[in-house]
Amino acid sequence: MTSLYSRGARSLSLLTLLGVTSTAASLTAALEAGQNPGPQRPYQITEQREPCSDYQPLRRPLFGDTHVHTGWSFDASSQDTRNKPADAYTFAQGGRMGIQPYDDNGQAMRQVQLDRPLDFAAVTDHSEFLGEMRMCMTPGYPGYWHPVCIAHRWLPQYSFGTFGAYGMAAKKRWGFCGEANTDCFAAARSTWQDIQQAAEDAYDRDADCSFTSFVAYEWTASVGAGQNLHHNVLFRNDQVPDHALSWIETPSQVQLWDYLEQECVEQKPGCDAVAIPHNSNLSGGLMFETARVSDDTVPPGPVSVAEATRRARWNPLFEVVQHKGASECDNRNPVWAEDEYCDFELLAYDSFGGKNTGIAAGGAMDWLTVFVDDQDLPQTKPPEASNFLRYALKKGLQQQDELGVNSFKYGLIASTDTHIAAPGLTMEKNHPGHGGAGMGSRDGLPAGLPDELEYGPGGLAVLYAEENTRDALFAAMQRKEAYATSGTRPVLRFFGGWDYPQDLCTDPELVARGYAAGVPMGGDLPPAPGTPDQAPRFLVSAQYDPGTPDYPGNLLQRIQLIKGWYENGELKEQVIDVAGGDTGADVDINSCEPQGAGYQQLCNVWSDPQFSETAQAFYYARVLENPSCRWSQRICADAGVRCDDPASIPEGMEQCCAAEHQKVIQERAWSSPIWYIPSS
């Protein structure tokens, strides 16, 4: 199966779709002649490989997943995940993969496959227990017969306590790790080498450039009773540190930066990395506090210019949605009450520990109360505004004004956080659940639902790059030319400048002129041309995802621009519809068939009528598709559940009619922002 947007055969059709016909023709001619357009790349080359045959100077969207767990992660093993990094990369490229349940011979009884292959992926197993997982799961290793390892193999639901709470919250290792933990560290190095080898084996270094893999891991910082400060660390190439730094050995995020600076940049020529924060919705309000946070309290003292500068350097991207909810905004909070589209994939609590997962007494959550400094778990607490991205983007404007540095200048991506080694498995139809902090059906959920009702399939990361290589994709991460989707694959372009003509949407050179006269998503607006009262103009274009015959896409409903600004000591925001609108489209929840009109393509050039040349500001685009059935409702509909007819509700499917069941969603995409910084 060929990826929709990444292969050379599709280059002309995609660029034509985006309105770049003459450029597409010249690129196609160069490809047919076996040439790359221009001998130089506009980014540093740090690895040896063949140049790609489908190099495109105007860049194309490449779809991937930067948050993937396999059987080397302690909480994936607790889901009986037996797939390893090599399996995850095979799956990402279109291969079939078995997942639980397994028969008596250990053979998977269910197979899954992507609707379309990904262009890139990164396996991000938790670094905290890479050694312990190898020791517990491999006969002959020290610790294999330790009671904790036996429990992990036979009662994996307890692993959230025996490893998660004891290790990440209490920051302790079990005795089978040996003196000074040397046995666990040695086993972790072996696993880290296996992770690197799997990434190398999957990476297409030929001219086809069909797939890119990144060496990566998750640094799983968790303070208090599960306030999530996790970051996914992705390395630029195969030059990586000798070990994956663990939260257990790290007081705070500051030490993570020290490790990246010293053991990557300084000690490994060619080494570089990004650290992507995720799940701020579960951070208990701490994700956007000082990076010196090491427990559930905020250290005294303001953020320094040096700290803000380091954070901006290492955190260029932010994961806005994944399996465990969305982190853009929350319209249950008064700040966003008027934004009706802030209701997407919200969780009712603000930390992992603030929610009863449904595990019976004596399960993982009871273990958590034992190991987290003997404190009781907090009651369920709704997330506050400080848990969400839009809060951080506005806070960054104030920081820019006060310090001259914006440490929350994030580009936006999404990913799955799959714990079944299934990168990119984001289709609502036939969703099998991702495991992890959720539970598989064998752990006590109703037989009809493969995951907890509140969790979803997650999203995708999209990077604009000239070619599908590590260097090109990493350069896109650093300049933030990226966008997030909730799992579908619309094509989104967003440019900002001062002189875009109003009819640019009809111009066949739309993309070329977007770059020439301004900046793409992730950039800073260039200085104003000096014309009095001139406001910036934004070019935004979206093409719907047609999907596949088995997993058809949905039409677009509207494009919105979200503006935030800091003026006269106040942080403000506004949501503006700039293209499309309410067409009355809907979905039949019993058949999940879409109903009503929509758009295959939307485009507009919008000028800000309330622009102030003295106010810090950001703008990002949000693209909304027509309503569709959520994954859970698809299962309920397939089972014939009709909530107005109790006789139609089989045993185990009662959650289909629960008050909290969100049956209909609107898939969407979020661009990275474009920032305005006053010249003064």
Check whether 374 has a pLDDT greater than 80: no
Confidence of residue 210 (pLDDT cuts 50, 70, 90): very high
The stretch 233-239 carries a mean pLDDT of 98
Residue 95: C-alpha distances to residues 372, 424, 644 (Å)? 41, 12, 41
Find tokens 């570089």 and name the residue. 272
| Contact criterion met (CB below 8 Å) for 276 and 672 | no
What pLDDT does residue 504 have?
98
Helical axes 389-403 vs 305-314, angle rounded to 10°? 130
Average model confidence (pLDDT) for the chain? Answer: 89
Of 665 and 679, more confident:
665
* Interatomic CA distance for residues 297 and 160, integer angstroms: 23
What pLDDT does residue 449 have?
84
Phi and psi angles of residue 395, each rounded to the nearest 5 degrees, phi first: -60, -35
What pLDDT does residue 28 have?
37
- pLDDT tens digits for range 432-486: 999 865 444 344 444 678 888 999 999 999 999 999 999 999 999 999 999 999 9
What pLDDT does residue 435 have?
82
* Interatomic CA distance for residues 176 and 197, integer angstroms: 27
* Interatomic CA distance for residues 165 and 155, integer angstroms: 16
Check whether 563 has a pLDDT greater than 60: yes
Of 61 and 108, more confident:
61
Residue type, 570: E
The stretch 628-646 carries a mean pLDDT of 96
| 297, burial (CB in 10 Å: exposed 0-12, middle 13-18, buried 19+) | exposed
Best-predicted range by mean pLDDT (10-14, 15-19, 277-281)? 277-281
What pLDDT does residue 379 have?
59
What pLDDT does residue 80 have?
66
* Minimum mean pLDDT range among 216-230, 233-247, 354-368: 354-368
Confidence of residue 13 (pLDDT cuts 50, 70, 90): very low
Of 447 and 282, more confident:
282
Proportion of the chain above pLDDT 70, given as a percent: 88
Residue type, 268: K
What pLDDT does residue 592 have?
97
* Interatomic CA distance for residues 136 and 150, integer angstroms: 7
Find tokens 């490989």 and name the residue. 49
Confidence of residue 155 (pLDDT cuts 50, 70, 90): confident
Angle at 508 between CA 518 and CA 521, to 5 degrees: 30
- State both tokens at 565: 């600004």
Q: Is 499 helix (H, G, I), strand (E, B) or coil?
A: coil
Of 22 and 546, more confident:
546
Proportion of the chain above pLDDT 90, given as a percent: 78
Tell me whether strands 60-68 and 460-465 are parallel, antiparallel or unpaired: antiparallel
Confidence of residue 77 (pLDDT cuts 50, 70, 90): low
Find tokens 């990076």 and name the residue. 291
- State both tokens at 595: 């109903």
Which of the 8 DSSP states describes residue 254?
A: H
Of 9 and 509, more confident:
509
**Residues 6 or more apart from 192 whose CB is under 8 A from it?**
130, 217, 242, 243, 244
Of 336 and 170, more confident:
336
Residue 481: C-alpha distances to residues 133, 474, 563 (Å)? 36, 10, 18
CB atoms within 10 A of CB 412: 27
Check whether 108 has a pLDDT greater than 80: no
Which of the 8 DSSP states describes residue 559?
A: E
Q: Is 370 helix (H, G, I), strand (E, B) or coil?
A: helix
38, 27, 67: which is closest to 424 by C-alpha?
67
Long-range contacts of 590-596 (CB under 8 A, 24+ apart): 590/637, 590/642, 591/637, 592/628, 592/629, 592/633, 592/634, 592/637, 594/554, 594/555, 594/626, 594/627, 594/628, 596/626
What pLDDT does residue 99 have?
86
Q: Is 154 helix (H, G, I), strand (E, B) or coil?
A: helix
- State both tokens at 357: 């997962």
Find tokens 């429990």 and name the residue. 151
* Minimum mean pLDDT range among 93-107, 312-326, 423-437: 93-107
* Interatomic CA distance for residues 589 and 637, integer angstroms: 7
The stretch 313-322 carries a mean pLDDT of 98
> How many helices and strands, by DSSP H and E, does the chain display?
15, 29
What pLDDT does residue 551 have?
97
**Residues 6 or more apart from 570 whose CB is under 8 A from it?**
none
* Interatomic CA distance for residues 208 and 193, integer angstroms: 26
| Contact criterion met (CB below 8 Å) for 121 and 62 | no
What pLDDT does residue 78 have?
55
Q: Is 646 helix (H, G, I), strand (E, B) or coil?
A: helix
Check whether 357 has a pLDDT greater than 70: no
Q: Is 564 helix (H, G, I), strand (E, B) or coil?
A: strand
Check whether 20 has a pLDDT greater than 50: no
Confidence of residue 356 (pLDDT cuts 50, 70, 90): low
| Contact criterion met (CB below 8 Å) for 656 and 639 | yes
The stretch 497-514 carries a mean pLDDT of 97
Helical axes 182-202 vs 130-137, angle rounded to 10°? 90
* Interatomic CA distance for residues 256 and 333, integer angstroms: 32
Confidence of residue 32 (pLDDT cuts 50, 70, 90): very low
What pLDDT does residue 444 have?
42
What pLDDT does residue 651 have?
87
pTM given for the model:
0.91
What pLDDT does residue 437 have?
53
Of 255 and 529, more confident:
255
Residue type, 673: P
Check whether 35 has a pLDDT greater than 80: no
Confidence of residue 662 (pLDDT cuts 50, 70, 90): very high
- State both tokens at 189: 């190095």
